[in-house]
Amino acid sequence: MARAYKGLAAAQQKNAEAWQKLHDSEVRRRALEKVVSLLQVQCTKLEVQLEQAKEGRAELEQQLEQLREFRDRAGGPLEHAPAVGRRWPSRSRRWLSSR
């Protein structure tokens, strides 16, 4: 009979260890789920930032192209530029300040 109790005690010990391992695994699984969730949120934020950066770049490229076109249209020497010390006409100052 004592042998049966020893066997039962050993089985109960193994059962308790198995339950502890199961519990530990569940704790690790939940922690990993939280990490994955946080990483997904971060990825979403970065995707939004990337899209905004692409839009900003497109806008800057458009402005650059407009400035290049303006430069190319201006072309040649600046014959109509004001002499040193003279002020630009107010219309030109307003145009320049709006850029």
Average pLDDT of the chain, as a whole number:
86
In 3D space, the residue among 92, 66, 63 whose CA is nearest the CA of residue 80 turns out to be 92
Which pLDDT score, from 0 to 100, does residue 2 have? Answer: 87
Split into its structural domains, the chain has a count of: 1
Per-residue confidence at 98, pLDDT binned at 50, 70, 90?
A: low
Is residue 36 one of the residues assigned to a domain? yes
- Mean pLDDT, rounded, for 45-58: 96
For residue 59, what are the domain limits?
32-63
pLDDT 10s digits, 53-90: 999 999 999 999 999 999 988 875 555 655 555 565 66
CA distance 92 to 62: 22
Residue 67: the pLDDT is 94
* Structure token digits, residue 90: 């107010």
Share of the chain above pLDDT 90, in %: 65
Is residue 49 assigned to a domain? Answer: yes
Residue 1 inside a domain? The answer is no
Q: What is the pLDDT of residue 63?
A: 95
43 part of a folded domain: yes
pLDDT above 60: residue 50: yes
pLDDT score recorded for residue 97:
66
